[in-house]
Structure 1
Amino acid sequence: MKRIIICCDGTWNAPDTEFGGQPVMTNVVKIARAILPEGADGARQMMYYDKGVGTRGNRIRRIIDGATGRGLADNMLNAYRFLICNYEPGDEIYLFGFSRGAFTVRSLAGMIRNCGILHRNAGDKVGQAFGIYSSRRFDTHPRMIEATMFRKTYSVCDLIPVTFMGVWDTVGALGNPLMLNGIFTKRHSFHDHKLSSKVKHAYHAVAIDEKRRHFQAALWEKDPADTHQTMEQVWFIGVHSNVGGGYTTTGLSDIALEWMAGKAKSTGLALDELSYHTDYLQKPANSRTGLY
């Protein structure tokens, strides 16, 4: 058994992001860098990190991708391909994400539930799997015949659990400031970001002071009949990046980081010691500046 940790960052966020000459790391980057190669139980831990949308290409492309969310499906499929290459039955899957990266890993969990994780020799079926997942028809629901038969034929096993999902401030409507009359909504409407019953432990840190309409939190709803799943959604002081990180001051984002790291450790993930500079008296930032 090994642990596979998928880390997907937020819009315009990357490990080398700077502001005013200072490095600004999100909580996703901090978690990714803290993952130890081996757990206390001897289990190997392997990590995949993906920069957020809007971090590739020239300046114009980065602006367009960041504003519209273009590239999110590609990010999800890249993470899915990493699982295809590395997952074996019995492995534990951990998912971390912030902002659109949170949406990405939530969508990834939905695709795993729908299509399983393909055998390595069935890697050429990723397009077909994505077609089944993205069609969102009744007959491709995870429990219906097409999805079930696809998993039985091509997946390493039928129902694959996700051990842990930790997300910071998943934004509704993909956090798109250009959502005009649904122009950009259709492109991402198929993403299944509901909480899958196959996620064992799910934690969502939400920004209580975020007022931007396009950053309305996409909250989970837990099935009260599901007694085998742990789910917590906690509101934290601050706006979007006060919770997920990305500002030069980390007094508030470190509060949400410490909470999430503690939850992950409690399920078995081995992390190096993180340095927290929490400040409960720090004032939330003004997020109503600029385009995003």
Structure 2
Amino acid sequence: MSYRGPAKNPLIVLSDGVWTGREANSESNVQRLASLVWGESGLPRDDDFAHLHPTGKAHYVNSVPVGSTFMESSSHVIHGLNVQDIEHQCIDTYEYLVHGYTPQETEIWMFGVSKGAFIVRSVAGMINNCGIVKPVYSLNGDVDVDKTHRLCQQVYRIYQCPSEANTPKSEQSRIFRRKHSWALIGDGDVVESPIRFMGIFDSVGERGIPEFAGAVGADWPKLHNQHVSSVVSEVYHAVSLHDRLYAYQPCLISRDTEYGPSYGITERWFPGTHYDICRQSFKIVRGVLPQRLESLLPAWAWSSKTIQPNEVLSDLVFKWMLECIDTHDPSGLVIPKNTLYRELDGLKHSILEGRNTGDGDVYDHILQFAPFGRYFDLVLSTAFGNWQDNQLYKMLFACRPRLVPEFNASVYNYRGPDPNLDGKIIQKLANLPSSSTTPEKQPETRYPSTSYDGWLLRR
């Protein structure tokens, strides 16, 4: 895709997803990655929206406030979180790059999980449209922060605009880049992509991220452009094989270039649900009663149980992503080599122990994780039979197996021995079923998705 010269200083963007934070006692794979980038001091554990590395080399962004729940952050129907939230995060991330990027000295590394993957892909789209604008300077030679911010806002609006005049290859876009931005491939003699590496965990948004659009109702805004352009050199995408939530369809990646649809793209399907791949834990309902009062009530009666990811599968995916980083960061500028190799050894040991295998796919009995959930489930089933057929429930929790579209897709064989794990089998370590069965045939199946068997059958 582009010539790569000597290693440059990395400018690292880390955009987190939902269902992470202190209250759930969880950290996503991107948050763990940020901790490795931060080093010995570690990523701050407060609830601030964003954190800047002490040297300025990295920028970590929380996607949803720590106090949010599954019902708030997954459906976005209850509190309407989405459009303004996404716009704010895209502009904030892009503005960080504007203040830190120079093509001679820096290269961009992007990481995103879940909704955070949606954010970094959108920012890459903004760069494809408008390039990376240069900071605006005032007459005294200082950066005019306000004008620079407003210019970044304009970049986002140009990216979102459907007009042909604002497409990346339009004359108007070329003029904008010549006037305001560092040159991109195709704008002159540039031979390097500004984004060296994009690593994402289960990018969702094939139907868009669900949102509540006021009086209009539920809407599904998509990525403005689902292709990854030449502004990104290498893409690594870990995709969930076992997730069934229809609202979280994967947004797969391809290129729209003469090099071919998969040039520089490594997309691999891993066993586990969306929250396994991303390493996210969450509660269905939180904050109905004061926290102190809730803590005094019997756990079996009131408390909303935290849904836990399968740590074996989370570790498997995280190990793969670190190995990909290692391949493209020979100098250890993103993560020091001793830190990275120590983490890889720890991940392998943790996988082989196979201790924390989480709750599996909970979508068919998700109410049981709510306060008094088992009792509500029993009452509803007694009164209405299969109450899950309710239209509102289906809108929020409709399930169907994902489709692996390509016969030759890279799909991790979790039923066979892995030579990189001393010949052990992930199916056994992670407590996965030996074959996929529908919930109707075997209600207690931990992972009822039939995606893997369907893919094997079609090959």
Q: TM-score, normalised by structure 2?
A: 0.54
> In 2, are the aligned partners of 1:239 and 1:287 still within 8 Å (CA)?
no
Counterparts of 1:65 and 1:211 in 2: how far apart (Å)?
A: 14
Corresponding pairs, count: 277
Aligned residues: percent identity?
25
The answer to which structure, 1 or 2, has the higher relative contact order (CA under 8 A, 6+ apart) is: 1
Kindly provide the CA deviation profile for residues 228-253 of structure 1, in whole angstroms up to 9, marking residues without a partner as x: 94111111010001111124551111
Kindly provide the CA deviation profile for residues 128-165 of structure 1, in whole angstroms up to 9, marking residues without a partner as x: 22221110221211111111111110013344521000
Counterparts of 1:158 and 1:69 in 2: how far apart (Å)?
A: 30
1:155 aligns with 2:174: no
Residue of structure 2 equivalent to 1:10: 17
1:264 Cα offset (Å) = 1.3
Between 276-285 and 44-53, the greater mean CA deviation after superposition = 276-285
Residue of structure 1 equivalent to 2:326: 265
Counterparts of 2:314 and 2:168 in 1: how far apart (Å)?
A: 36
Counterparts of 2:155 and 2:255 in 1: how far apart (Å)?
A: 26
> In 1, are the aligned partners of 2:75 and 2:211 still within 8 Å (CA)?
no
Kindly provide the CA deviation profile for residues 60-112 of structure 1, in whole angstroms up to 9, marking residues without a partner as x: 9x937971424012111100010111111131101100111000001110101
1:34 Cα offset (Å) = 0.7
Residue of structure 1 equivalent to 2:269: 235
> In 2, are the aligned partners of 1:164 and 1:200 still within 8 Å (CA)?
yes
Return closer, same or farther for 1:138/1:270 CA change in 2, 3 Å cut-off.
same
Q: Structure 2 unaligned runs (5+)?
A: 1-7, 40-54, 137-146, 186-192, 282-307, 368-395, 398-459
Return closer, same or farther for 1:252/1:179 CA change in 2, 3 Å cut-off.
farther
Counterparts of 1:126 and 1:74 in 2: how far apart (Å)?
A: 11
Q: What secondary structure is seen at the aligned counterpart in 1 of 2:91?
A: helix
Partner amino acid, structure 1, of 2:270: F
Between 143-152 and 273-282, the greater mean CA deviation after superposition = 273-282
Between 132-141 and 202-211, the greater mean CA deviation after superposition = 132-141
Q: What secondary structure is seen at the aligned counterpart in 2 of 1:35?
A: helix
Residue of structure 1 equivalent to 2:63: 52
Return closer, same or farther for 1:177/1:251 CA change in 2, 3 Å cut-off.
farther
> In 2, are the aligned partners of 1:12 and 1:66 still within 8 Å (CA)?
no
Return closer, same or farther for 1:139/1:184 CA change in 2, 3 Å cut-off.
farther
> In 1, are the aligned partners of 2:12 and 2:110 still within 8 Å (CA)?
yes
Q: What secondary structure is seen at the aligned counterpart in 1 of 2:197?
A: strand
Residue of structure 2 equivalent to 1:278: 351
Q: What secondary structure is seen at the aligned counterpart in 2 of 1:10?
A: coil
Q: TM-score, normalised by structure 1?
A: 0.83
What's the C-alpha RMSD, in Å, of the aligned pairs? 3.1
Residue of structure 2 equivalent to 1:98: 113
Q: Structure 1 unaligned runs (5+)?
A: 38-43
